[in-house]
A and B are shown apart, each in its own frame.
Chain A
Amino acid sequence: MDLYCVATADTPEIVFKFSTNTFIVSGEAYPEDADKFFRPFISQLQKHLDAGNGQLMVFNFRLAYFNSVTAKILYDLFGRLADYAKAYPGAVVLNWHYDVEDDMMSDFGLEIKEDYPELTFNAVTSDGR
């Protein structure tokens, strides 16, 4: 079953296509209770990872803004992906899209790359328009 969630002002669009192993998180993320918002997506994803046997999974993150609690949840998610990529080297591609002017998003991407070397990390810039 695929998961889809439409964006709101404070929550991102989420498209988890388990059928094709493609995943998108896009928009802004600063809900009041980020843990509660993301939990169903992460728990479904974890089941999918547990059942995976090395298929390539491609994640596209295109976040304009997220708050501190969401940052922590993203790190938890990347940790899960890194565990899968430890078992199956090269099996997770993480495309981190950000506005070229946004040095905070750029820095965060670099930190992901350093903290989770198991992930195939690509920084993708746009001009923000």
Chain B
Amino acid sequence: MLCHLFTAFFDVEAVERLDFYYSGEVSQPVIVSMGQALKRQLAIGDGQGTKTRKVFSAYVEMLQNVVRYAEGREGAVIVCQVAGEHLVACANRVAKRDADALKAKLETVLAASQEDVREAYRAQLRQAQIGADGGAGLGLLTLARESSKPMEYRFVDQVVDQDAAADGFCYFLLKATL
């Protein structure tokens, strides 16, 4: 279970409404079927409009990243409200050797103004080739574009359970506020 990692972002006591939580194997069928449940929970199409769509979008982008990149295709995701804001956060295991490249990508996106994010997003869309990375840059830009605040991330070294104790891995956490 990776749930306690989310305390890096907020206290469990601070969660006002827990819409959705999952920890385990992530695959496209899992994303789709849980997504249907999440949508019902968020009451998409029931007058809630843009906010719930952005929450769903963040959920999909984060978990599809887990499928593409995470070690073991395992991850955790939480959708909740803290201090009146909708949060989507995910956690997954990554190889330490990949952490620096990921960190550099994130720092570039986080340092950009909202206008720069929009421009970078459009520039990526116009590029003819689908990136060798499957479009992860575009995924992060999509998250940044739809976030109401800068995203936050952490790399956590702590050993979560015995299986994860292998050397050379750490946990990557990402939080978006919608």
What residues of chain A have their CB less than 8 Å away from a CB belonging to chain B? 9-10, 30-32, 35, 65, 67-69, 71-73, 75-76, 79, 99, 101-104, 111, 115, 128-129
Interface string of B135-153 (1 = CB under 8 A from A): 1001101100010000000
> What are some 30 contacts across the A-B interface (CB < 8 A)?
A9-B33, A10-B31, A10-B35, A30-B64, A32-B28, A32-B64, A32-B67, A65-B53, A65-B57, A65-B60, A67-B57, A67-B60, A67-B142, A68-B61, A68-B135, A68-B138, A68-B139, A69-B134, A69-B138, A71-B125, A71-B142, A75-B126, A76-B128, A79-B128, A99-B49, A102-B50, A102-B53, A103-B50, A115-B122, A115-B126
8 cross-chain pairs, A with B, having the tightest CB-CB distances, nearest first: A101-B49, A32-B28, A68-B142, A75-B125, A68-B138, A69-B135, A68-B139, A9-B32
Interface string of B105-128 (1 = CB under 8 A from A): 000000000000000001011111
Cα–Cα, bound, A112→B32 (Å): 28
Inside 8 A of A115's CB, which chain B residues have their CB? 122, 125-126
Indicate if B45 sits at the interface (CB-CB under 8 A).
yes
Cα–Cα, bound, A11→B36 (Å): 14
Interface string of B23-47 (1 = CB under 8 A from A): 0000010011101100000000100
Indicate if B93 sits at the interface (CB-CB under 8 A).
no
In the complex, the answer to whether B53 meets A72 with C-beta atoms within 8 Å is no
Cα–Cα, bound, A10→B130 (Å): 20
Inside 8 A of A128's CB, which chain B residues have their CB? 45, 49
Inside 8 A of B134's CB, which chain A residues have their CB? 69
A100 to chain B, nearest CB (A): 9
A113 to chain B, nearest CB (A): 12
Cα–Cα, bound, A104→B148 (Å): 13
- 7 new A-B pairs (CB below 8 Å) besides A71-B142, A72-B124? A65-B56, A65-B57, A67-B64, A68-B135, A111-B125, A115-B122, A115-B126
Closest-by-CB residue of A relative to B137 is A68
A105 to chain B, nearest CB (A): 8
Indicate if B54 sits at the interface (CB-CB under 8 A).
yes
Inside 8 A of A35's CB, which chain B residues have their CB? 130
In the complex, the answer to whether A104 meets B125 with C-beta atoms within 8 Å is no
Inside 8 A of A73's CB, which chain B residues have their CB? 130
A79 to chain B, nearest CB (A): 8
